[in-house]
Structure 1
Amino acid sequence: MEKDEKDFLLEKVMIEYGNELVRLAFSYVKDSETAKDLVQNTFIKCYKNLDSFRFDSQIKTWLYRITINECKDYLKSWHYKMVQVKSFIQETAKSIYPSTEKTVIDKYHNEEIKDTIFSLPKVYREVVYLYYYESLKTEEIADILDIPVNTVKTRLRRAKQRLETMIKEAELNGR
């Protein structure tokens, strides 16, 4: 593939899939700037490996797989673990100075559903995100995650069951 073709194709996929990939990365790392950085890494890898892409699958599927792998690698990294420790310390320090009641209530209502989904184990959270937020078919999800279609269906079913239980418990506890 010639450089002009690669440049054109990269620009096309960046425009077409950039926002989707950032949302996908955010579902893993829960930080918008980090998500953007990881997607930038995805596009760099895409550009470097375009010559070896065989078009056996859709380029979207390939980009999702690269992005997910980037996120998983980041979450295993030493840097991420240190950021988590620093964040924990900062949050603990902030809790010493209570915020106003309205701010707490507003934040609670905005984050409630997202937090419930993010509290799911990663294997369930990723299929829920890809299925409901990205509107991907189970076959596409299976291809992206490199797992059987039936595993995707099982994870979706179990995630729904867990979410239902979590929501019922929250209602019983007065949330």
Structure 2
Amino acid sequence: MNELTAEWMKVQDKDLLIDEIMDRYGQEILQLAYTYVHNKAIAEDLTQDIFIKCYKNLHIYSGKAKFRTWLWRIAINHCKDFLRSWYNKNIIPTTDYFPNHISEKEIIEEVVIQQEEDHELMSAIMRLPTKYREVIYLFYYEELMIKDIASITRTGTNTVKTRLRRAKSLLKEMLEE
């Protein structure tokens, strides 16, 4: 069962269901939130809030769209709401901490070079405007199809294609500098 169906959600215990949803989508939602806020602690808080919203609104899910698409829509809207919030505009977060999890066996030149390139790419992606950053994230990191991205972002498929093309062009310019 790859997708949670509306019927399954009505039959099952809500608490068991939210555990399943968090297990299945938790890391992806956390990564999505991070692409918006650029801060691990805030992204973790937003992820918790997103799953609370999901839990409270499970009765609304009709099954017309894929569950994942419905959840992503909640997540994206919540992240955008946060970015417009007073808190985000007036509170300065502390520095973010990302430990480096490289085992001693992996410390070779190729790994270091790859990490450096990945870091440069991620930094460039984070500097993109939100509308480009979200389509890059959903397409390349979540491997969603263009029609699903269009549904999540509430835009047309041609708009998604244009944003992907423009985002790649901007990334190329940034990385060539």
Q: TM-score range by the shorter chain?
A: 0.7 to 0.9
Q: Which amino acid aligns with 2:149?
A: I
The Cα shift of 1:139 comes to 0.9
Q: Which amino acid aligns with 1:118?
A: M
Name the residue aligned to 2:132. 124
For residues 18 and 10 of structure 1, the distance between their equivalents in structure 2, rounded to whole angstroms, comes to 10
C-alpha deviations, 1:94-123, integer Å up to 9, x for none?
xxxxxxxxxxxx9x9474221111111111
Partner of 2:152: 144
C-alpha distance in 1, partners of 2:91/2:11? 38
> Displaced runs of 4+ in structure 1, greater than 6 A?
none
Q: Aligned residue for 1:54?
A: 62
Residue equivalent to 1:64: 72
What residue in structure 2 maps to residue 75 of structure 1?
83
Aligned to 1:114: 122
Whichever residue aligns with residue 31 of structure 1, its letter is N
TM-score, normalisation: structure 1: 0.78
1:7 correspondence with 2:30: no
Alpha-carbon shift at residue 145 of structure 1 (Å): 0.8
Superposition deviation, residue 83 in structure 1: 2.6
Matches of 2:12 and 2:152, distance apart in 1 = 28
Identity of aligned residues (%): 45
1:19 equivalenced with 2:27 (yes/no)? yes
Q: Which of 1 and 2 has greater Rg? A: 1
- The alpha-carbon deviation at position 127 of structure 1 amounts to 0.3
Distance 1:137 1:166 in 2: 26
Q: Secondary structure of 2:132's match?
A: helix
Deviation, 1:28, is 0.4
Q: Which stretch shows the higher mean deviation, 46-55 or 110-119?
A: 110-119
Total equivalences in the alignment: 150
CA RMSD of aligned residues (A): 2.2
Residue by residue over 1:30-85, the C-alpha shift from the partner in whole angstroms, topping out at 9 and shown as x without a partner, is 1111111111111111111111110111111111111111111111111111234x
Task: Read off the aligned partner of 2:50 and give its amino acid letter.
Answer: T
**Consecutive unaligned residues in structure 1, runs of 5 or more:** 91-105, 171-175
Distance 1:54 1:153 in 2: 28
